[in-house]
Amino acid sequence: AQSVTQLDSQVPVFEEAPVELRCNYSSSVSVYLFWYVQYPNQGLQLLLKYLSGSTLVKGINGFEAEFNKSQTSFHLRKPSVHISDTAEYFCAVSEGYSTLTFGKGTMLLVSP
């Protein structure tokens, strides 16, 4: 069975600083990996996804993530955050055509 661990429930950071949100997964087969962002009282918006190919994936809003198979990780990074990046971020994994399994989420708090 697949599972996702987001190691940090909350990450405070100052505006214009870099940030990394950590995500580790476990699965017995090849997986597809996703990062979603959720603003208060809204649904989920896809930031980026890894299906195959290059392990460095670039997404929207300046975010990127790197798939590391040996470490079973898919950490999300942004070199310089904005106040508007304050939101909940969810890492998710899917084994082929199966359903998505979400991590518990990481709240990114950007302060001026």
Q: Does 58 bind another protein (CB under 8 A)?
A: no
Exactly one of 47, 75, 78, 103 binds another protein (CB under 8 A); which one? Answer: 103
With residue 57 as reference, give the H or E element that holds it.
strand 56-58
Binding mask 23-42 for another protein (x = CB under 8 A): ---------x-x-x----xx
Phi, psi of 28 (to 5 degrees): -95, -5
Q: Least distance in Å: CB of 29 to another protein? A: 13
Size of the site for another protein (CB under 8 A): 21
Are 50 and 74 a contacting pair, CB within 8 Å?
Answer: yes
First to last CA, the chain: 41
Q: Which stretch binds another protein (CB under 8 A): 17-25, 61-69, 76-84, 99-107?
A: 99-107
The residues, any chain, with a CB within 8 Å of residue 91's CB and separated by 6 or more, are 4, 6, 21, 23, 25, 33, 34, 35, 74, 76, 102, 103
**Closer residue to another protein in complex, CB, 40/112:** 40
Exactly one of 25, 67, 89, 90 binds another protein (CB under 8 A); which one? Answer: 90
